[in-house]
Structure 1
Amino acid sequence: MTIKELHALFLEHPHICTDTRKITKNCLFFALKGPNFNGNKFAQEALDKGAAYAIIDEEEFKTSERLVLCDGVLETLQKLATYHRKYSSAKIISLTGSNGKTTTKELIHAVISKKYRTIATQGNLNNHIGVPLTLLSIKEDTEIAIVEMGANHQKEIEFLCSIAQPDFGYITNFGQAHLEGFGGVEGVIKGKSEMYDHLISQNNSIFFNADDGIQKEKLANYTKKMGFSSSDHQYYQIKFLGVDPYVSLEVEGTQINTQLVGKYNFTNCCAAILMGKYFNVPLTDIKTAIESYRPENNRSQLLSKNGFDIVLDAYNANPTSMRAALENFSLMKAKRKTLIIGDMFELGSTAAEEHQSIADLAENLHFDQIYLVGENFYGTKTSLSKFKSFDALKEHLTKHPLEKASLLIKGSRGMALERVLEVL
């Protein structure tokens, strides 16, 4: 079956499933493989549960006409996504960066959807499987699709751009994330910049932060760009007003009061505002969209529980985002501040140095109580309270409950520090 023929089948059954536990009636099941599973073995089960067809790549499992044999299921899924992207008239906005991708994507979606029929990456499905699934969620009436792209090594963004073929792009920042896979900060800059390289090669448009020296330098000689700035008047002006605890800003004389903590969210808002202006969304609608957005999924959430005012930022962490979170927390007004931070993953040979740097910063910011959690933080040279595991922290807090305070909780996803809430 050719990709064109498969696409015709997809138009008749426009829902993709890759997990037999989530089969919907008349979907197309793609029998993906992984290190510990082989989707081909579950293809017949998918049909039995209601799938219209199953796409497989091992001939021994082809036992009926509804089992479609291809050379490689993953590659076929990716080619189908690109074919559908070309078939659709929707404009594609691509998004990557070291920090803030998902929040920025959701803000852009909130703003753009005020005027256009818009879809966006669900959750953080931003890899070689998630990007195709996002593209295949584009409907006939979709006008704009916002596609988040994640990466932890070179050439990954280049590959995702070749699948999505974006019309527009934005990079949130270049930070100390996935240093192990990228080979250091310079590797991060090179890897994330693959989005710029793709857009420039196609003479497509780029949104950027003109206050970011790296981005400004990389785009110095490129003309199809639109930037925002809080200081450079040749770009779209957005003024930072403050954060206490939420970010507030001003654009064209209009004040916008967000529900986002942390100055680091200022540029995320700016990107959404700039894109809204480019696509002619009225400023009143932009303001409504930004002010109505509330973060979820452990991303800079402000919560209250049992007398604690909590900044829960436990979805992910790297040295750049950790440093920004600590510095922002130090500026927040509170009588008492407690810090609980967990290990940052994927730092490779720099792990010991980076964890020591964060431990030193935490100590120098003079919070009332500080708890470091995880094997990397446990290995730092510091007088701060440190625990090798979450269970060790939990045992301590059970015996020695925290005093009521403003509380920042931050760590990499694998640390799952949102579990602290159960201990309070």
Structure 2
Amino acid sequence: MKKISPEYISSALRCKFFKNSDELVSGVFIDSRKVTDGGIFFCIIGNVNDAHKFIPDVQKTGCKNIVLSDINWANKLIDEGGTNIYLVEDTTRALMDLATKYFADWKNIIKIGVTGSDGKTSTKEFLYSALSSKYRVGKTKGNFNSEYGVALTIFDFEDDIEVAVIEMGVGDTTRMGDLRNIVDPDGAIITNIGTSHLETFKTRENLAIEKLKIAEGFDKKNPLVVNSDNDILGSEKLLNLIKGDPYVIKVGTKNNSSYKIYDIKDLGIDGIKCKLRFSDDIIEKMKKAGKTSNKSSEVADLNLRAIGRHNLLNATEALALAVGIGVPLCDAIEGINKTDININEKRLDIIRAKDWTIINDTYNASPESMIAGIDVLINSKASRYVSILGDMLELGQNSEEGHMIVGKYLACKGVDLLITVGERARDIARGARENGIRNIIEYKDLDEAKDNIRRNICKGDLILIKASRGMMLENIAEELKCI
């Protein structure tokens, strides 16, 4: 982080400022346990904790800058002296305001936003690899993509980066308009529009409109990469709702794609391959930029270490954005082909135990990512295919339908054994049973599953374990891993 002065901070926050120190700020914190010398602490009021109560702990670290909204705490600190106090109405908004000014004042940097219902983190990792051949790149750590995460990501960047890749997610309290104002991206990727967060946005169309706000104010210099295989993002009608005129680059398997994916060879847990064909306008732009000069460059190969057909779309979207801001095609492809996206042990993590292999994909789940996980399972080599699937949360009124769709898809693919965990997952079992699967076991909760799961697994099995994060099915993966 670039060091900033107390006066700079008070100007950004438009707050009541009580100055007691000239110390420059070199770190921004919302977790009292992580505050270091030279830090500023924001007293965030969340659903569980009011961080004002941690002020005494923060003071013990020697922190000289505190942003708060509690007038009683402000008066107490004023009486004590020694601390710069920034009194605001809303500490969350203040954090966002400081991040907005700080990033806006950062000149000569290219800012890229990545959003979508699924695949944001994987796409961000592919993009980081593709860009790194030409630029010094900073990226969001993990999936730190909320209003807090985006702000803290920006403050965490090294001050010599040339491109910032920022994951941007929406949810119950997080809106794309706020995130877009903080980041002010020069280019963006929308991976897809699925069914996550429908409790908040009610329809996929509303969710799409929200995510498309990432491109507000774009003109033809600003690339917007979209997944044209997605029924909503492939709609010209919806793209016309963008308040701007971006350079839209479509990625998918359809003939009208700017980057067309074809000749797909899915090797399951051993990776995936495909060919890419570029549209005439993409080839022309490459030639003008001096990045291709012959007919053979109309086709390229991707050979991903990553697993899952869905990652072809994620990787190609990243490729399209990287080329769109000036990375040579061959360099971008080389970076993407060597990308290891297993950055989270609960995202398509392959665990090779003594007698069986586990696909631990328990970080989160939606119908779309469930289907993607099932494809990885079935396209791999194994003596028997087992799916252990739990509840998908936050689907709202679409919950029953979403779970039923997954069950029907399992039946179409022909898994050998389905085990469900949780009340909502019973609809997965019902959808599978109604479409021909007979070998089904249902457990009401995690404890019942853990007590009984071992007796259902055989030597040589390939086992997919997947559910929403709240179901904690990684405990089953650990149970089977240790046997």
Q: Same fold per TM (> 0.5)?
A: yes
Is 1:226 the counterpart of 2:211 in the alignment?
Answer: no
Q: 2:361 aligns with which of 297, 306, 313?
A: 313
Is 1:385 the counterpart of 2:441 in the alignment?
Answer: yes
* Number of residue-to-residue matches in the alignment: 423
Match of 1:396 in 2: 452
| Structure 1 residue 88, shift from structure 2 partner | 0.3
Match of 1:412 in 2: 468
Structure 2 residue identity aligned to 1:250: K
Match of 2:272 in 1: 247
SS of residue in 2 equivalent to 1:338: strand
Match of 1:279 in 2: 325
Match of 1:209 in 2: 227
Q: 2:143 aligns with which of 105, 115, 124?
A: 124
SS of residue in 1 equivalent to 2:264: strand
- Aligned-residue RMSD, C-alpha: 2.8
Runs (5+) with no aligned partner, structure 2: 1-5, 14-20, 277-296
Match of 2:418 in 1: 370
8 Å CA contact 1:207, 1:271 repeated in 2: yes
CA separation of 1:61/1:234 partners in 2, compared to 1, >3 Å: closer, same or farther? closer
| Structure 1 residue 411, shift from structure 2 partner | 1.0
Separation in structure 1 between the aligned mates of residue 457 and residue 373 of structure 2, nearest angstrom: 24
Separation in structure 1 between the aligned mates of residue 224 and residue 407 of structure 2, nearest angstrom: 37
CA separation of 1:200/1:185 partners in 2, compared to 1, >3 Å: closer, same or farther? same
CA separation of 1:328/1:392 partners in 2, compared to 1, >3 Å: closer, same or farther? same
Match of 1:257 in 2: 303
Match of 1:27 in 2: 39
Separation in structure 2 between the aligned mates of residue 322 and residue 410 of structure 1, nearest angstrom: 7
CA separation of 1:206/1:154 partners in 2, compared to 1, >3 Å: closer, same or farther? farther
| Structure 1 residue 6, shift from structure 2 partner | 5.9
8 Å CA contact 1:261, 1:302 repeated in 2: no
Match of 2:25 in 1: 13
| Structure 1 residue 314, shift from structure 2 partner | 1.2
| Structure 1 residue 86, shift from structure 2 partner | 0.9
Separation in structure 2 between the aligned mates of residue 195 and residue 219 of structure 1, nearest angstrom: 12
CA separation of 1:65/1:395 partners in 2, compared to 1, >3 Å: closer, same or farther? same
Separation in structure 2 between the aligned mates of residue 148 and residue 377 of structure 1, nearest angstrom: 30
Separation in structure 2 between the aligned mates of residue 248 and residue 10 of structure 1, nearest angstrom: 57
8 Å CA contact 1:259, 1:292 repeated in 2: yes
SS of residue in 1 equivalent to 2:57: helix
Match of 1:61 in 2: 73
For residues 357-403 of structure 1, what are the alpha-carbon distances to aligned partners after superposition, in whole Å with 9 as ceiling and x for unaligned? 32233234321221111111236534521111111111112445444
Q: 1:92 aligns with which of 108, 111, 121?
A: 111
Which deviates more, 177-186 or 98-107? 177-186
Separation in structure 2 between the aligned mates of residue 193 and residue 302 of structure 1, nearest angstrom: 34
Structure 1 or 2, whichever has the larger Rg, is: 2
Is 1:101 the counterpart of 2:120 in the alignment?
Answer: yes
Q: How does 1:125-204 map to 2 (within 5 A)?
A: 125-152=144-171, 156-196=175-215, 198-200=216-218, 204=222
Match of 2:87 in 1: 70
Q: TM-score, normalised by structure 1?
A: 0.90
Percent same amino acid among aligned pairs? Answer: 27
Match of 1:355 in 2: 403
| Structure 1 residue 142, shift from structure 2 partner | 2.0
8 Å CA contact 1:121, 1:146 repeated in 2: yes
| Structure 1 residue 283, shift from structure 2 partner | 3.9
| Structure 1 residue 104, shift from structure 2 partner | 0.6
8 Å CA contact 2:250, 2:259 repeated in 1: yes
Separation in structure 2 between the aligned mates of residue 200 and residue 272 of structure 1, nearest angstrom: 18
SS of residue in 2 equivalent to 1:306: coil
CA separation of 1:232/1:52 partners in 2, compared to 1, >3 Å: closer, same or farther? farther
8 Å CA contact 1:169, 1:199 repeated in 2: no
Q: How does 1:321-360 map to 2 (within 5 A)?
A: 321-360=369-408
SS of residue in 1 equivalent to 2:250: strand
CA separation of 1:377/1:237 partners in 2, compared to 1, >3 Å: closer, same or farther? closer
| Structure 1 residue 279, shift from structure 2 partner | 3.1
Match of 1:112 in 2: 131
Is 1:421 the counterpart of 2:477 in the alignment?
Answer: yes
CA separation of 1:2/1:70 partners in 2, compared to 1, >3 Å: closer, same or farther? farther
Runs (5+) with no aligned partner, structure 1: none
Separation in structure 2 between the aligned mates of residue 11 and residue 248 of structure 1, nearest angstrom: 54
Is 1:43 the counterpart of 2:65 in the alignment?
Answer: no
Structure 2 residue identity aligned to 1:412: S
8 Å CA contact 1:55, 1:73 repeated in 2: yes
Structure 2 residue identity aligned to 1:31: C
SS of residue in 1 equivalent to 2:130: helix
| Structure 1 residue 75, shift from structure 2 partner | 1.4
| Structure 1 residue 238, shift from structure 2 partner | 4.7
Q: TM-score, normalised by structure 2?
A: 0.80
Separation in structure 2 between the aligned mates of residue 303 and residue 223 of structure 1, nearest angstrom: 42
CA separation of 1:317/1:422 partners in 2, compared to 1, >3 Å: closer, same or farther? same
| Structure 1 residue 173, shift from structure 2 partner | 0.5
